[in-house]
Every structure is written in structure tokens, then in C-alpha cells.
């Protein structure tokens, strides 16, 4: 191997040290005398981080959070969290003399009378949207690549909590300007609370300080938005990062990479530069969006008034899926001893979201219970190599996506000239059928891709050169993939054998089920593994190579010619060559 071994760290206890001594400043000495930072920095400054674009999705969320903190603090210097009534006398004329809350008036002031205020408002709102979207695609990446398995299950749970809290934070945040659109959302939230059995009206009265709308909700949401949830977010993000650093990042399998090492770039200087640079990029893109793309134009909505509403009343995108479920739900309400049980609100809002969140958090534990796999996993899996897991998440995404689309059914209706009634009827059926169909299609697709991988391993890659035999038959010339690529394709676990033997114990020697739960587990485990295509064994691979060599013998006469198929593996270059050497 020709790697520069002078920089290899033999273990995690000693750092990869540079051979020459660096000059150390007086300030650094002063600090270390009191804080002893050198010990910690020794271990961590050369920490290795693997490099792949899909590992940066969580960073988008992290840096968006920083942007949120910075822009949010700016806004708090002008925003007034009060529902006291004022008559607007600011510079936005179409609202002059209109009665509104101080919160709304201060939002108008930020938008029109504070230079850079509207920019900051919009940056704050855009980065909130991006924060949650980034958390979501980060979650998808982690799940699809199997990075949620042991030892990272706790980090997964923390991540799910971050997603949930981020959503709440966004909801409280966009309600603060007390405009017509977000106020309608709060009105709906009050309806949700009132629909809760037994304690509903109490919850509503305690939150609003009496009947809706009262004058307490905005100041209270302000406290939640600026103090409580950011505190929780900061704590959880710190825990999330600490665990990531402690466990070290997962990596894709490949040459030189194993379950016991991390291959990549050191924190200082490369990773710091890339992460730090990315922070500026996220910040910069958010600023560009905040300056060029209008978002939440509260002056057009007008102040909240319980007797006014706008068409196209939707919450921000991340609340879209519960809104969609609410829209497609039929109007079921039963009466129990004279008390209403509002299924039409409880199911989409009070039952489904906590259920989905719990399901999401339990995914790694469910998976390890079903598979029985208690090993540590630091190498990632390609989604195709875990077909059932991938299909499950695609089914969940389909459910989420359909509910999300249902939340915009009126806008879909006017954009595409459809009937909202038909869209609702369609969604009521699709929300059940869609995930099932998506699961089946995805699983089959993954298995097909596994087959394709195996073909590549056994027969080589398709060169695009078509050969014709003397008898007239056409075939495509295949060439073997490089050793690195071949290794990468095989660098995955073989799935356990789930065939059940007649005598009662299965191929792994396990006893027959002792309780009904165990029986379900066995069946689920079989579903997970039974249809998957495994990587070829040594014998199969050798057989495949043998065949390939045989083919190559027959085609040896073609070697060296421009159409021998070696153009893409660097074996020979084709400049100044003609297709047929004779002509």
C-alpha cells in the first residue's frame, strides 16, 4: 500500500502527531494552565471524519439552528409579545388606523420601519423551514443507510425528539406575529384542545387564560418559543453531537474501510474547514432567500380577527400532514352519556401524530428485536441491501406525503382545475392503499437492484461493445469491475438463513416458539430476510471469474483495438485510433 503511514493513528488513545514541534503562544499557555485543554484537544483535534455529501445533511440542520438563534435574537429586540390593542400609526398605509395587537404592530414595525428588519424576519422564517426539512432528510439518510442501529439507537431517539421540538418551535414561532393566517391556526389548535375528552375545555382555558382568544396566548407562546424550546433544543443538540463524536461517524464500506476503523479527514484542518465553510454557505443561502424571496407577508394578511379568514389557510409545510389528515377525515363524532367524542379531530390530531412519533422513535428497537441483530454497526448499508427496511420507510414517506398533499387540497384544486371533493375522496382511499403499494414496489425494486449488483460481480460491467459471433449471435462484452469496486459491492453482511427446517428448529438451531410474540417475531424476521439476494460465495465468484476468463480468451483477438471495451477502466486510451486497425 502506498499510503503515507506517518500520519496513521494506531489507536484512538494517541493522536496522529506531526513530527515537528509547533511554537506555542503565551495566551495558549495561560489558558492551558487553568483549563487543561491540551489533553482534550490532543485526542480530538485530529479526530477522523469520513467524507460524503450525505453526511452533511445533519449539518444543514445544525447550521440552520445557529442562523435561527442569531436572527431570532435580533428580532426579540423589536418584537413586543403583547396582545394589548393599539391603533396602527406606522408607515404601512393600508393598515393605518386599524385596531391590532401590539405583537402584530411590532411585526409591522420590524417589516417596514426597521432597516434590515424584514430581511431578518424572512431569514428567520426560511431557516426555520430549512431546519426542519434538513432534519427530515437527515433522518431519512440515517435510516436508509442503517446508521440508526446499535450503538446509535439513543442518538436516533434524540434526533426524533429534535424533529418534534423543531416542529413545535416553528408553530409557536409563526404564530407570534398574531396575523390572520397564523391566528386561524391557533383557533384550530384551540378547537383541537377543546375536542379532547374530559380535560379539553380546561386545557383550552388554561392555555388562553380564559375563553378564546383572550390576551395571554401570544406572550405565553413567546416564552415557549424563545426560552423553553430553544433550551431543550440546545441541550438535545449538544447530546446528539457528543454521542456522534463519541461513537465516531459511520462510513460507507469500501477499500481500506472496516467495522473497526474510520477513514477520512482530520478535524484540524480539513473537517473544520469544510464544516465551517458550510456554515457560511448555509447562512449565505438563507440570507439570499431572506432578501429575494418573500415569505409570510403579514401585512397582507392583516391582524388576527376571529371573524375573518383567508382562503388557502394552511399551516407551514411541516404541519401539513396533520392538517391533511384532518381534512380527509370523515365527520365522525359519537356521544357518550351526552358527552361528545370527536373522532374527527382526535384521530388525526390527538392520536396519529403521537403514534407516528412513537413509531419513529421505536424503529431501531423494533428492527433489532425482529432481526435479533445485537452487533455494533459502523459500516453503512446501501438501501437496496436492506429491502424490507427501505420499503417500510418508503411506505411511511408515502403516507406522510399523501397526508401532506391532502393538506393542500384546495390549492391543488385551483392549480390543476380539479374538484376538492374528488381530491378528498381520492385521498381517503389512497392514504391506506398508497403505503401498501409503495412498500411492495420498493421492496421488489431493491431486490432487483441486488440482483443487478450480483450480476456485475459475477459477469462484470457492460462495456457497450456488441460482439457478433461467427454463427451470427449478438452479445455484449463485459469486463470485470475493478478490485476496489468489487470489494465495495461485497462489503456487506450476509443475511441470516431464515429457512425453517421440518424438525422444528430452524437453520440457526433455534427452538420452536415459546410464546405468541416470539412467533410473530419469527415471521417478521422471515419477511425481512427471506426474499433478499445474498452476495455471491467464494465458489460462485470463482466460477464467475472462470467463465469470464473463458470469454476473454475467445475475445482476445480484439484486445488493443479501440473497441475492446477498456476505454473506461484506464487500461488503454483511444486517442488517434480508428475503429478498425486495418483501414
Residues in 74-133 that interact with other proteins by CB under 8 A: 84-85, 91, 93-98, 111-119, 122-123, 126, 129-130, 133
Segment near other proteins (CB under 8 A), from 44-52, 225-233, 361-369, 554-562?
44-52
Contact window for other proteins (CB under 8 A) among 292-300, 351-359, 464-472, 512-520: 292-300
**Closest CB 248 distance from other proteins, rounded Å:** 6
CB of 378 to other proteins, least distance (A): 6
Between 217 and 395, whose beta carbon lies closer to other proteins?
A: 217
Chain residues 4-43 in contact with other proteins, contact rule CB under 8 A? 4-5, 7-12, 16
Cβ at position 62, least distance to other proteins in Å: 12
Q: Which of 66, 168, 441, 486 binds other proteins (CB under 8 A)?
A: 486
Please identify which residue in 72, 173, 302, 387 interacts with other proteins, judged by CB under 8 A: 302
What is the distance between the alpha carbons of residues 353 and 164, in angstroms, rounded to a whole number? 10
Q: Are 137 and 59 in contact (CB under 8 A)?
A: no
Q: Which of residues 510-549 bind other proteins (CB under 8 A)?
A: 535-538, 540-541
The least CB distance from residue 543 to other proteins, in Å, is 11
Binding mask 344-363 for other proteins (x = CB under 8 A): xx------------------
- Please tell me the distance from the alpha carbon of residue 35 to that of residue 2, in angstroms, as a whole number: 40
Question: Which span (230-238, 369-377, 459-467, 559-567) binds other proteins, by CB under 8 A?
Answer: 369-377
Identity of the residue, 17 or 475, whose beta carbon is nearer to other proteins in the bound complex: 17
Question: By rule CB under 8 A, what string of x and - marks binding of each residue 552-581 to other proteins?
Answer: ------------------------------
Whether residue 269 is preceded by a cis peptide bond, meaning omega within 30 degrees of 0, is yes
Per-residue DSSP letter, 85: E
Burial class (CB in 10 A: 0-12, 13-18, 19+), 105: buried
Near other proteins by CB under 8 A, which window of 285-293, 358-366, 436-444, 520-528?
285-293
Q: Which is nearer to other proteins, 272 or 563 (CB)?
A: 272
Residue 571: DSSP 8-state: S
Q: Interface residues for other proteins in 392-451 (CB under 8 A)?
A: 408-411, 413-414, 417-422, 424
Candidates 160-168, 300-308, 352-360, 516-524; binding stretch for other proteins (CB under 8 A): 300-308
Site for other proteins in 159-218 (CB under 8 A): 180-181, 184, 187-188, 190-192, 194-202, 204-216
Question: Looking at 307, 469, 503, 514, which residue binds other proteins (CB under 8 A)?
Answer: 307
CB of 224 to other proteins, least distance (A): 13
Please identify, using beta-carbon distances, which residue of 279 and 467 lies nearer to other proteins: 279
- Out of 39, 44, 310, 475, the residue judged to bind other proteins by CB under 8 A: 310
Q: Which helix (H) or strand (E) holds 115?
A: none
| Nearest alpha-carbon partner for 392 in 349, 369, 359, 368 | 359
If the CB atoms of residues 36 and 297 are measured against other proteins, the closer one turns out to be: 297
- Measured distance CA(355)–CA(373) in Å, rounded: 25
CA torsion 562-566-567-569 (nearest 10°) is: -160
What kind and span of H or E run contains 550? helix 538-554
Cα–Cα distance measured from residue 219 to residue 196, given in angstroms and rounded to the nearest whole number: 24
Stretch that binds other proteins, among 27-35, 158-166, 328-336, 459-467 (CB under 8 A): 328-336
Shortest spacing between CB 33 and other proteins, in angstroms: 29
Name the segment binding other proteins (CB under 8 A); options: 51-59, 462-470, 513-521, 554-562: 51-59
C-alpha cell of residue 188: 384550530
Q: Cis omega (within 30 of 0) on the bond before 302?
A: no
Minimal distance, residue 21 CB to other proteins, in Å: 19
Rounded-to-integer distance, Cα 282 and Cα 277, Å: 9
* Shortest CB 476 distance to other proteins, Å: 24
Min separation Cβ 347 and other proteins, Å: 10
Stretch of 310-318, 360-368, 387-395, 557-565 contacting other proteins, by CB under 8 A: 310-318
In the set 57, 80, 363, 465, which binds other proteins (CB under 8 A)? Answer: 57
User: Which three three-digit cell numbers place residue 67?
Assistant: 442562523
How far apart are alpha carbons 415 and 380 in whole angstroms? Answer: 42
Q: Residue 163: which of 67, 250, 64, 56 has the closest Cα?
A: 64
Give least dist CB 8 to other proteins, A.
5
For residue 532, which of 374, 414, 388, 349 has the smallest C-alpha distance? 388
Query: Which residue from 433, 386, 397 is spatially nearest to 147, judged by alpha carbons?
Result: 386
Q: 478: which residues sit within 8 A by CB, 6+ positions away?
A: 459, 460, 461, 462, 463, 548, 551
In DSSP notation, 24-60 reads --HHHHHHHHHH-HHHHHHHHTT-EE---GGGGHHHH
Question: Hey, what's the cell of 215?
Answer: 390576551
Least distance from other proteins to the Cβ atom of residue 444, Å: 25
Binding residues for other proteins, total number by CB under 8 A = 194
With CB under 8 A as the contact rule, the residue among 40, 223, 333, 444 that binds other proteins is 333
SS (H, E, C) 169-208: HHHHHHHCCCEHHHHHHHHHHHHHHHCCCCCHHHHHHHHH
Binding window for other proteins (CB under 8 A); candidates: 74-82, 359-367, 494-502, 524-532: 494-502
Q: Is the dihedral of CA 452, 457, 458, 462 positive or negative?
A: positive
Per CB under 8 A, the list member of 28, 300, 355, 556 interacting with other proteins is 300
Contact 48, 265 (CB under 8 A): yes
CB 219 within 8 A of CB 81: yes
Query: Does residue 383 bind other proteins (CB under 8 A)?
Result: no
For 370, the grid coordinates are: 425482529
The C-alpha cell that represents 534 in the structure block? 445474498
CA distances in angstroms from 57 to 48, 161, 237, listed in the order given: 18, 17, 15
3-state helix/strand/coil string of 147-166: CCCCCCHHHHHHHHHHHHHH
- 487, 521, 561, 569: which one contacts other proteins (CB under 8 A)? 487
Amino acid at each position: 500500500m502506498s499510503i503515507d503511514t506517518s500520519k496513521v493513528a494506531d489507536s484512538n488513545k494517541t493522536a496522529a502527531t506531526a513530527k515537528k514541534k509547533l511554537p506555542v503562544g503565551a495566551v495558549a499557555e495561560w489558558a492551558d494552565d487553568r483549563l487543561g485543554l491540551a489533553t482534550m484537544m490532543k485526542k480530538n483535534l485530529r479526530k477522523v471524519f469520513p467524507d460524503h455529501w450525505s453526511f452533511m445533511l445533519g449539518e444543514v440542520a445544525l447550521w440552520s439552528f445557529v442562523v435561527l438563534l442569531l436572527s431570532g435574537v435580533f428580532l426579540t429586540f423589536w418584537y413586543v409579545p403583547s396582545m394589548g390593542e393599539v391603533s396602527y400609526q406606522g408607515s404601512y398605509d393600508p393598515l393605518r388606523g386599524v385596531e391590532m395587537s401590539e405583537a402584530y404592530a411590532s411585526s409591522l414595525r420590524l417589516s417596514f420601519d426597521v432597516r434590515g428588519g424584514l430581511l431578518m424576519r424572512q431569514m428567520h422564517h426560511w431557516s426555520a423551514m430549512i431546519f426542519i426539512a434538513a432534519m427530515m432528510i437527515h433522518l431519512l439518510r440515517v435510516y436508509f443507510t442503517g446508521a440508526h442501529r446499535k450503538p446509535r439507537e439513543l442518538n436516533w431517539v434524540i434526533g426524533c425528539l429534535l424533529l418534534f421540538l423543531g416542529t413545535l418551535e416553528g408553530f409557536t414561532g409563526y404564530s407570534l406575529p398574531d396575523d390572520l393566517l397564523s391566528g386561524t391556526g391557533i383557533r384550530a389548535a384551540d378547537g383541537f384542545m377543546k375536542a379532547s375528552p374530559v380535560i379539553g375545555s380546561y386545557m383550552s382555558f388554561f392555555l388562553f387564560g380564559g375563553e378564546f382568544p383572550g390576551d395571554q396566548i401570544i406572550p405565553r407562546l413567546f416564552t415557549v418559543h424563545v426560552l423553553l424550546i430553544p433550551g431543550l433544543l440546545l441541550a438535545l443538540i449538544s447530546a446528539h453531537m457528543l454521542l456522534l463524536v463519541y461513537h465516531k461517524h459511520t462510513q460507507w464500506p469500501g477499500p481500506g474501510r472496516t467495522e473497526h476503523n474510520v477513514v477520512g479527514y482530520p478535524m484540524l484542518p480539513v473537517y473544520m474547514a469544510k464544516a465551517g465553510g458550510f456554515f457560511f454557505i448555509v447562512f449565505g443561502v438563507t440570507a439570499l432567500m431572506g432578501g429575494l424571496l418573500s415569505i409570510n407577508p403579514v401585512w397582507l394578511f392583516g391582524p388576527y380577527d376571529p371573524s375573518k379568514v383567508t382562503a388557502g389557510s394552511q399551516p407551514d409545510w411541516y404541519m401539513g400532514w396533520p392538517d391533511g389528515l384532518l381534512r380527509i377525515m370523515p365527520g365522525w363524532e359519537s356521544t357518550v352519556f351526552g358527552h361528545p367524542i370527536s373522532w374527527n379531530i382526535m384521530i388525526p390530531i390527538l392520536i396519529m401524530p403521537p403514534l407516528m412519533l412513537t413509531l419513529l422513535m421505536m424503529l431501531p428497537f423494533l428492527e433489532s428485536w425482529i432481526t435479533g441483530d445485537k452487533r455494533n454497526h459502523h459500516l453503512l448499508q446501501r438501501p437496496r441491501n436492506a429491502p424490507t427496511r427501505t420499503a417500510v420507510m418508503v411506505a411511511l414517506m408515502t403516507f406522510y406525503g399523501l397526508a401532506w398533499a391532502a393538506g393542500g387540497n384546495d390549492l391543488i384544486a385551483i392549480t390543476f382545475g380539479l374538484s376538492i371533493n374528488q381530491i378528498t375522496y381520492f385521498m381517503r382511499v389512497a392514504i391506506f392503499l398508497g403505503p401498501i403499494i409503495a412498500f411492495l414496489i420498493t421492496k421488489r425494486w431493491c431486490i432487483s437492484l441486488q440482483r443487478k449488483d450480483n450480476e456485475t460481480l459475477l459477469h462484470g460491467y457492460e462495456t457497450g461493445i456488441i460482439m457478433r459471433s461467427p454463427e451470427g449471435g449478438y452479445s455484449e462484452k463485459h469486463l470485470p469491475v475493478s478490485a476496489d469496486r468489487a470489494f465495495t459491492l461485497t462489503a456487506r453482511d450476509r443475511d441470516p438463513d431464515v429457512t425453517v427446517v421440518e424438525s422444528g428448529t430452524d437453520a440457526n438451531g433455534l427452538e420452536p416458539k415459546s410464546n405468541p410474540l416470539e412467533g410473530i417475531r419469527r415471521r417478521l424476521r422471515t419477511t425481512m430476510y427471506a426474499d433478499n439476494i445474498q452476495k455471491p460465495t467464494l465458489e460462485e465468484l470463482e466460477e464467475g471469474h472462470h467463465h469470464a476468463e473463458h470469454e476473454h480468451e475467445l475475445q482476445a483477438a480484439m484486445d488493443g483495438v479501440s473497441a475492446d471495451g477498456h476505454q473506461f477502466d484506464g487500461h488503454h486510451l483511444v486517442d488517434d485510433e480508428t475503429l478498425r486497425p486495418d483501414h
